[in-house]
Structure 1
Amino acid sequence: MRSWSKSLIGGVAVALAVAGCAGSGGDTGGDNAQSGPRELTVWLMNGSAPETLTNALHQEFQAAHPGVTVKYEVQQWNGIQDKLTTALASNDAPDVIEIGNTQSPKFAQQRVLLDISADTASFNKDQWLSGLEGSATWDGKQYAVPFYAANRVVLYRKDMFEQAGVTAEPTNRAEWLAAIEKLKAKFGSDKDFQALYLPGQNWYSLLSFIWDEGGDIATQDGTTFKAALDSPQAKAGLEFYKELVEASGTKAPKDADEQTPEQAGIYGGGKVAMIIGLPWEVATAAKSDPKITELTGAFPIPGKAGPAPVFQGGSNLAIPANSKDQDLAKEYIKLISSAKYQSEFAKAGMIPGTSTDLSALEAGGPASAAMAKSSTNGKGVPATPGWATIEAGQNPLKDMLTAYLTGAKSIDQATADANAVLNEAFAG
């Protein structure tokens, strides 16, 4: 699924049911194409595309293809894994589907998606979002097209920064820690104040620090992955996470993530100067305090010498191998991935997956502008079918964080144990 947030976007990957090969993955569009009036079935996920966008898109597509009707069906994230597994193994598959970036490798491995390697130029590959491109590829072949994405930024109270004498947004770790000290000096007498609310299991943010140190979750050799959380670079990222937790004075639980409790609500309570979150969490915070929208600024997650790499969660578009209208499906993806429609996604607050034009996103407010700035340095989780089972269960990165932050395990033991769980999932 889209690995953004369990409750915000429904982006937690669930275990994938084993499905047999439903097709070779070759282009059979010419053989399967129906004659006479044709119906193109499109499945996009709830909340993915504004209705005004899809209405205009479908009108344009149908006008350009007389006799074709787009059967547009909005799907829910809850239960979509099983529904897709069943549909992709049947003889009545939809023609275009949206799939989360953590779902893509598993379906590609099963060869239930069409190999579109020969068509990528028509889908604007030269403008694809690099953070999603890896998840759309398997074993050297292209099975999906990046659709759109989002990444985390630091959301902060401009009024608190001003009162604390923080005159510029931090651009590196040292400046970030210095700003935290100034905030604590100004507001620390309030026992409820937190310079940065940072839960112990915010593994999305941890990845920024690991990548900034030059580490990674795993190394890849072809289609084989090996966990690498015990590398010196990954450990350095984990150590900075602990330093940030201790420096910030956060009261967030060390054994829960940013949704337990919902961090946007904590931020909206007026006692927190910063959170690491997604742009739309500002709107959630505003339910507690409507003024928070105007009071909130944003900047990219700081690294050692500039913005840190960011985890990029999102969705891809794919064509089922059993689609009866693969030729039309390709035309549909070509249209939706055009600059015309990708700019509309940017206006809606998402990073367009197939366009380097971020002007609309940059004009969408401080949080959207910060997200746009970070997007050029986006990364994803290992593009392996095994990742779905990792997020479906108890994510070992969360266990690693809690064990290390609480002192239950040394950094060596915590990373070794997390590696063992990851490697088991990768092998399975």
Structure 2
Amino acid sequence: MKLRALILGVCSASAFAFAAHAEAITIATVNNGDMIRMQKLADDFTKKNPDIQLNWVTLEENVLRERVTTDIATKGGQYDIVTIGNYEVPIWAKQDWLLALDKLGPDYDVDDLLPAIRGGLTVDGKLYAAPFYGESAMIMYRTDLFEKAGLKMPEKPSWDFIGDAARKITDRAAGINGICLRGKAGWGENMALLTAMDNSFGGRWFDEKWQPQFDQPEWKKTMDFYVKLMKDAGPEGASSNGFNENLTLFQQGKCGMWIDATVAASFVSDPKNSKVADKVGYAIFPDENTDNHGNWLWSWNLAIPASSQKADAAEKFIAWATSKEYTELVASKQGWAAAPPGTRTSLYKNPEYLKAAPFAEPTLAAMTAADITKPSVKPVPYTGGQFVAIPEFQGLGTTVGQLFSAALAGQSSVDDALAAAQAASVREMTRAGYIK
């Protein structure tokens, strides 16, 4: 017994010593469902890489952006992996804030990444982030409520149709709001929706000379339509609702329609978490006689800050989390419908995924329809869909988002919000040197 105890003690001490020498990497990520799932499945990675320990920092979207931007701009070195969008990647790579991913391994299959997604993460021929999931935006709607109201969703719905339908299916007594749309302030929250919406109305953020366009008819029409629609058919407190809040409302059966990121489809159609899973239809993002369906194209990606001292371990984790093997792991644990969407061509050729995910083809169609090189029907000096791909947009977009969220909450008029947005934009673009 003494010998056995001695052996066990030696083994325990060795294990403790090994754990103490394991390289710890810190991962900053957003509190979206797919990322929460990744954390739960990360034991698969640590079992294969016992010399690497994972520390997670999981934050709400706006907070994540603020903290990661501050850390990476100051070379703080707090994070070894950051979760960022295709807005940040090319801007930060050009400022040497990110490390190129050139050690993903021979089995990673970079060529399988969807061209539009890969292109947005590539600078000078090098990949600076790996996509965890990709998305466009589309309409998710309750087929039972449409049938009850005698409505049929058109193949290419207009905003006028969406407004009329939302009002018809609203039933306040039953707790059903005709439509849920983002209202929470933030360049990647309400301004993602409203920028895409304005694009679909034929508007733009800036003209060819970088003059802000909030004093033009398209933004006026967009904001009047949005605020009135949400007053007539939206939920209470809509100015505080972002992606996650609206997802919960839809899953609970409290939204007749929801226009948002395509990635939400796997969650609204999940019978374990959604009360309306068997009653969801999908349609392309609306337009207003412009044939511009929002041009929303986004990916959440994993990247390594240049300040990280543990780049090799970080790249190993990124290769695992964004691989085809990870997709298969998710499928084996939670079914193919839960697989991270919008990043790999092979997923949309997989018959098991196509069979399990009724939203697969609408998602791919929405992503294919997006053209971020031409966000507006009018000429513009920038790229981007639901964002403007310039460094100043992060701060300016949030400022404008706060003004528009206040208008939705009734704290200001639409006209006052637009005037303030115009003034703030002119001031910032002049300060930054865009306006001469």
TM-score tier, shorter chain, comes to 0.5 to 0.7
Distance in 2, matches of 1:125 and 1:261, equals: 32
Q: Which residue of 1 aligns with 2:196?
A: 208
Distance in 2, matches of 1:353 and 1:407, equals: 40
- The structure in which a higher percent of residues are helix is 2
Distance in 2, matches of 1:417 and 1:143, equals: 35
Higher relative contact order (CA 8 A, sep 6+): 1
Q: Which runs of 5+ in 2 are unaligned?
A: 1-20, 185-189, 331-335, 371-384
Residues 298-377 of structure 1 aligned to structure 2 (within 5 Å): 298-303=282-287, 304=289, 308-324=293-309, 326-327=311-312, 329-330=314-315, 332-342=317-327, 347-348=337-338, 350-355=340-345, 357-358=347-348, 359=350, 362-363=354-355, 365-366=357-358, 370-377=362-369
Shift of 1:124: 1.3
Distance in 2, matches of 1:261 and 1:337, equals: 23
Scaled by the length of structure 1, what TM-score is found? 0.63
Q: 1:269 to 1:387 in 2, by over 3 A?
A: same
Which of residues 276, 279, 283 in structure 2 aligns to 1:292?
276
Post-superposition CA distance 1:332-353 (Å, at most 9, x none):
5444433333465674353243
Q: 1:349 to 1:390 in 2, by over 3 A?
A: farther
Q: 1:276 to 1:361 in 2, by over 3 A?
A: farther
Shift of 1:162: 0.9
SS at match of 1:320: coil
Scaled by the length of structure 2, what TM-score is found? 0.62
Q: Which residue of 2 aligns with 1:388?
A: 394
Q: Which runs of 5+ in 1 are unaligned?
A: 1-36, 63-67
Shift of 1:161: 0.9
Post-superposition CA distance 1:258-311 (Å, at most 9, x none):
349954566577675323245649968999x96433333332322347681353
Q: Does residue 113 of structure 2 align to residue 127 of structure 1?
A: yes
SS at match of 1:350: coil
Which of residues 152, 155, 160 in structure 2 aligns to 1:171?
155
Residues 17-416 of structure 1 aligned to structure 2 (within 5 Å): 39=23, 41=25, 43=27, 45=29, 48=35, 49-51=37-39, 53-60=41-48, 62=49, 69-77=51-59, 81-82=66-67, 85-86=70-71, 95-101=80-86, 103-104=88-89, 107-108=92-93, 110-116=95-101, 124=110, 127-128=113-114, 130=116, 133-134=119-120, 136=121, 143-167=128-152, 169-174=153-158, 177-178=160-161, 181=164, 195-198=178-181, 202-212=190-200, 215-218=203-206, 226=210, 228-230=212-214, 235-236=217-218, 239-240=221-222, 242-243=224-225, 246=228, 249-250=232-233, 256=239, 258-259=241-242, 262-263=245-246, 272-278=255-261, 280=264, 291-303=275-287, 304=289, 308-324=293-309, 326-327=311-312, 329-330=314-315, 332-342=317-327, 347-348=337-338, 350-355=340-345, 357-358=347-348, 359=350, 362-363=354-355, 365-366=357-358, 370-378=362-370, 379-390=385-396, 393=399, 395=401, 398=404, 408-409=414-415, 413=419, 416=422
Shift of 1:362: 4.9
Distance in 1, matches of 2:422 and 2:76, equals: 45
Residues 153, 299 of structure 1: 8 Å contact kept: yes
